[in-house]
A = this chain, B = another copy of it.
């Protein structure tokens, strides 16, 4: 079966967590909006029946699955990227939902007044939110995942077997390095397990091939992780 991934064509965004899972699995998929334009995607969102609220969504045969973590829940079972037991499945899904929360907080560093205004219209509150984010939230979230790696002994979050959560944590480290190079450099000494996990994921053959291909869209200032120099200051406002 050839999967169809529907996501905005110009950004990594939330779709990237799905792309990484598809690539690691060596799954056959088409990135619809990139390869065929946005028309088909918009049509599915406007359709009757059970339309998704927003991209990304995945067409798998007759199924259309929306919400990033829900897509990964589905793919994880089919491609060996999640444990087989119910307890294991619920656990990695729980972790992915925690990453979902973190991703929204990352987005809100540059959009504290909401997704409907431009960054340029919210620069002052963005500075304050970013300061709080690095002071309180990054240590809490990344400290939590670092602690899980300590509990299992690693190298993956659940121990020895790779799951989609590990792929997503790679993307979190990669994205924070892009968006906040100075802050992240200083912070990385506190999360050696996550940095090691990041490096191991990056070195996996399928991921390595993907990252150097043109299927990997470069980071830019339209996505979740944006590099705005004024937000990467070490000074908390």
Contact = CB atoms under 8 A, between A and B. Distances in A.
Q: Max chain B CB contacts within 10 Å: which of A51, A53, A86, A132?
A: A53
A94 B74 CA distance: 11
B128 A113 contact: yes
Using C-beta atoms within 8 Å of the partner chain, give the interface range for chain A: 35 or more
A136 to B, nearest CB: 4
Q: How many copies does the complex hold?
A: 2
Given A97-B69, A112-B129, A63 B50 contact: no
Nearest to A66: B94
Decide if the interface of chain A is mainly helix, strand, loop or mixed. helix
B67 A98 contact: yes
A38 interface: no
Interface in A136-177: 136-137, 141, 144, 147-148, 151
Given A48-B151, A90-B63, A125-B113, A70 B97 contact: yes
A9 interface: no
Contact of A104 (B73, B101, B135, B148): B101
A212 interface: no
Given A50-B148, A114-B132, A125-B125, 8 more contacts: A49-B151, A67-B94, A67-B98, A70-B93, A104-B104, A105-B114, A113-B129, A114-B129
